[in-house]
Amino acid sequence: MEAGSIKGVSGSILERVFSHSTNFGCIAKAKKGLFDGDYVLALRGTAKMRDVITDLNCGLSTCSNNQPVHAGFNHTFNSFRKQLEQFFNKRANQKLNIHVVGHSLGGALANLAANWLKNHFGANVKLYTFGAPRVGYHSFALQTEAATNNHVYRCVHAADPVPLVPVWPFMHTEKEYILNGAATITPKAHRMTDQTPGYLNTASSFKSYAAISRGMEKRIQEEVRLDYEKRLECTRTSRWARKIGAALITHLRDTGKLYAIQNHYTNTLTVYDQIAKALTDSIDLSKSYTSDVKGILGYMLAFCGYPFKAISFTYASIRHILKLMLTNVFSLAGQAIALTK
Amino acid sequence: MKTLTPAFAADFAALAYETLERAPLESMEYYGRLEHTFQWKLVL
């Protein structure tokens, strides 16, 4: 498969990348100059992966650094890992500097690839993603930061729904570079090459990462309690999606369920079933817990456009509202990914 | 090891994402920028 630099389009490596006759991306090597000898691994998601990310019941599997990650992403990465291994095995006698890049689901694969390249080859790795979804739990995010020596350039548009999924307990690496701050969630914000905003367009307007506004995936969420009576303030923005998530985490921490849910991996009861059960169990434990749950559910309904829908505190009802919220966010992400095809 | 600028990283992400149907390859600005600095080694 290996070839030298391309001379034109026809019959070239790039033609195969562009024609989608191959699935995952390409590797380039820097000519003499600023990046002399560095490799770039550029990855893209595949159409099949749209179904993977929109699966609410995403399972977990163990990746190269022994951390739990999204099983669908890991499976996809493993399907081309052998090719990566063969390529870099031939160069394993030199110090490898590898920049790993990806947009959307390609960004998820880039996270896994960066970890694997570090673990398998001891390569120096830097990771760059645009509009990538979350890949694993907190422990995976920490390992990714360590594997890249904190060189993770996770770029987002605030209105892009894809970085919002999968929801907690999946977590991003901490630093976030916000290329465009418009907040109302819209699938169009996920596109790479459109002018408004378009990741290619917004990224090109910054000379360095230092010039870009920073956000953060908080390791320890601030305490957030939502007052049901104020739910009409909630709009469909990434800010409110995060705030509702933070309120949920606050409640689970208060009731002592947070650790158990985050560390109990099972494919028989989804993490979201466990959350619904935990919220149901909170009812009647105390007035303040009931009030917290009512606030969380009320804001979820408001986020989804049903602020006046009645709430009942049964497991079935709570599971329904949680699923409505998840379906809403995942649906936006699914639409966004569909737009990229 | 230097860091790719946001523009360079986005160029690569766009390259991996873009499809042939959108425009002839040679006319894409980012393709030109990348070809100047990198040579292609492998398709996955």
Q: Give the distance between the most distant pair of CA atoms in chain B.
A: 35
Question: Do both A245 and A182 map to the same domain?
Answer: no
pLDDT for position A10: 37
Q: Look at B38 and A155 and tell me if their CB atoms are within 8 Å.
A: no
Do residues A238 and A305 share a domain? yes
A339 touches chain B (CB under 8 A): no
State which of A176, A196, A219 marks the end of a domain. A219
- Whether residue B27 is predicted with pLDDT greater than 60 in this model: the reply is no
- pLDDT band for A117, please (50, 70, 90 cuts): very high
Rounded CA gap, A128 and A152, in Å?
6
C-beta atoms of B2 and A38 within 8 A: yes
Residues A305 and A168 in one domain: no
A200 contacts on B by Cβ (under 8 Å):
10-11, 13-14, 30
- Each domain of chain B, given as residue ranges in start order, spans 1-16+25-37
In the prediction, which pLDDT does A115 show? 97
Q: How far is CA B34 from CA A6, A158, A299, B12, B44, in A?
A: 12, 27, 46, 8, 18
Contact A295, A231 (CB under 8 A): yes
pLDDT mean over B13-23: 64
Query: Is the separation of the CB atoms in A65 and A53 below 8 Å?
Result: no
Q: Which position has the token pair 């790719």?
A: B4
At A231, give phi and psi (nearest 5°).
-60, -20
Q: Residue A6 domain-assigned?
A: no
pLDDT at A335: 85
pLDDT per residue as tens digits for the range A148-166? 999 999 999 999 999 998 8
Are A190 and A86 members of one domain?
yes
The whole-angstrom separation of Cα A242 and Cα A214 is 16
Q: Nearest CB to B18: which of A18, A107, A207? A: A18
Q: Which of B8, B11, B17, B20 to mutate to test the interface with A (most CBs of A within 10 A)?
A: B17
Asked if the Cβ–Cβ distance from B37 to A31 is below 8 Å, we say: yes
Cβ separation of A6 and B19 shorter than 8 Å? no
Partner-chain residue, chosen from A5, A25, A204, that has the shortest CB–CB distance to B16: A25
A166-184 tens-digit pLDDT: 887 889 999 999 999 998 8
A76/A129: higher pLDDT? A129
Q: Do B26 and A151 touch (CB under 8 A)?
A: no
CA distance readout (Å), A119 to A21, A224, A237, A307, A332:
30, 38, 37, 48, 34
- The tokens for A36 are 């002399």
Q: Which of A133, A38, A151 is nearest to A329 (CA)?
A: A133
Q: Is the pLDDT of residue A7 over 50?
A: no
Nearest to A31 among B1, B19, B39 (CB): B39
Task: Give the model's pLDDT for residue A15.
Answer: 57
How many domains does chain A fold into? 2
Is residue A72 domain-shared with residue A45, that is, in the same domain?
Answer: yes
Q: What is the pLDDT of residue A130?
A: 96
Whether residues A97 and A176 fall in one domain: yes
> Which pLDDT tens digit goes with each residue over A240-288?
998 998 899 999 999 998 888 877 665 566 788 889 999 999 998 899 9
- State how far the Cα of A70 lies from the Cα of A237, in Å rounded to an integer: 25
Interface of A with B in 224-243 (CB under 8 A): none
Residue A2 domain flag: no
Q: What does the pLDDT look like over A181-239, one tens digit per residue?
A: 998 899 999 988 877 899 999 999 999 999 999 888 876 667 999 999 999 999 988 88
Laid out side by side, the sheet with A39-43 consists of A213-216, A175-180, A152-157, A124-130, A97-103, A39-43, A25-30, B38-43
What residues make up the domain containing A282? 228-337
* CA–CA separation, A302 and A227 (whole Å): 12
One domain, residues A163 and A243:
no
* CA B10 – CA B30 distance, rounded (Å): 9
% of chain B at pLDDT higher than 90? 23
Residue B20 has pLDDT above 50, yes or no: no
> With an 8 Å Cβ cutoff, are A2 and B39 in contact?
no
Instruction: Please check whether residues A232 and A209 belong to one and the same domain.
Output: no
- Name the pLDDT band for A8 (thresholds 50, 70, 90): very low
Tell me the nearest-neighbour CA distance from A195 into chain B, angstroms: 13
User: How many beta-carbon contacts under 8 Å exist across A and B?
Assistant: 175
Q: What is the token pair recorded at A44?
A: 């893209």
More confident residue, B24 or A125: A125
Q: How far is CA B9 from CA A67, A152, A309, B30, in A?
A: 27, 12, 45, 10
Task: Using a CB–CB cutoff of 8 Å, tell me whether A9 touches chain B.
Answer: yes
Strand ranges for A152-300 from DSSP E:
152-157, 175-180, 213-216
pLDDT band at A3 (very low <50, low <70, confident <90, very high): very low
Instruction: Assess whether A150 and A239 both reside in one domain.
Output: no
Domain boundary among A219, A248, A267: A219
Whether A151 and chain B come into contact, CB under 8 Å, resolves to yes
Return mean pLDDT, chain A: 86
Contact A66, A101 (CB under 8 A): no
A278-282 long-range contacts (CB < 8 A, ≥24 apart) are A278/A252, A279/A251, A279/A318, A279/A322, A280/A313, A280/A314, A280/A315, A280/A318, A281/A255, A281/A257, A282/A251, A282/A255
Strands A124-130, A152-157: parallel, antiparallel or unpaired by DSSP? parallel
Evaluate whether residue A1 is within a structural domain.
Answer: no
ipTM: 0.86
Q: Is B3 on the interface with A (CB under 8 A)?
A: yes
CB proximity B27 to A under 8 Å: no
Q: Tens digit of pLDDT for each residue in A43-79?
A: 987 666 666 666 666 778 888 888 889 988 998 899 8
Question: What mean pLDDT is predicted for residues A285-293?
Answer: 93
Residues A274 and A175 in one domain: no
Same domain, A200 and A272: no
Q: What is the pLDDT of residues A72-116, one digit of tens each?
A: 899 889 988 999 999 999 998 999 999 999 999 899 999 999 999
A279 shares its domain with A140: no
